[in-house]
Every structure is written in structure tokens, then in C-alpha cells.
Structure 1
Amino acid sequence: MLVRKTISSSTRISRTGRRSTVEEALNKSGPLGRLAETNEIACAVLFLASSESRFFAGHELFVDGAVAAI
């Protein structure tokens, strides 16, 4: 029996409402210039949980707006 272990590594997530000075600085510091939206993280996790990812095994999916790439 093969057990697949695949994880999703996410980044900071944007909050709704008024943004703080810290959040604005974080927005500018990332390669995409913004924080992740909750639905972007959720879509990646749903993909990993679906049969569409059946050939993924032992993989870490970075959902971080290219932060890990720099």
C-alpha cells in the first residue's frame, strides 16, 4: 500500500477590512506585491485533496506568491 504524503506551504494571508501598517509593508515586500487571499490557499489545498493530484507524492506545494523562490 502506497501512502502519499503531500503538503501545502502557505504564506501570510490578507485580512478583510482595514489594513495595518505592518500588513502594508508585507504587501510590498513579496514578489507579487500583495498577500494571499484565503481562496487562493483553499484552492491549492482542495487540489491536493482531489483525485487530480493522484500522481503527486512526497511533494511540497508552495502557495506563497514566489516568496520561497527569492
Structure 2
Amino acid sequence: MARHDGADEDRGRRRRAQSFVLGGIVGASAVAAALRRARRSRRRPVQTGLAAFESAPCYRELLERERRDGP
């Protein structure tokens, strides 16, 4: 039968503690990245429906062409 001494238990505890700390760091960096990304996306106004279409460059070019050349 194998005998377990205190050094093996300490090694196991240390490994679990390192894993816990590393997981916390990775998790915190993921949260920070998500917050940065969310903040960036809020700055840009979101247009919906017809307003989004009417502000498209291709639509504005079409309107300008129609004004210039006629319908």
C-alpha cells in the first residue's frame, strides 16, 4: 500500500490554488474584454427600418443621380 505524506498533499493544494487563481485571471480578462466591447458598440447609433436604408451611401447616390438626371 502506498503511503501518502504531507508533501503530496501540499503539492495537490498548491496545484488547485494555482488553477483557481489562473481561472480567476482568465475570467476577469474575459469580463474586461466584454465590457470594452459593449461600451464600443453603444457609442455608435443604431438605425432601424427605413432610416437605416435611407442613410445608406448607395441610396443617397441614387437620389443624387435622379435629381441630376431626372427620374
Say yes or no: TM over 0.5.
Answer: no
More helix by share: 2
Using the size of structure 1 for normalisation, the TM-score is 0.30
Computing the radius of gyration from Cα coordinates, the structure with the larger value is: 2
Instruction: Give 1 or 2: higher strand fraction.
Output: 1
Which has the higher relative contact order, 1 or 2, with Cα contacts under 8 A spaced 6 or more apart? 1
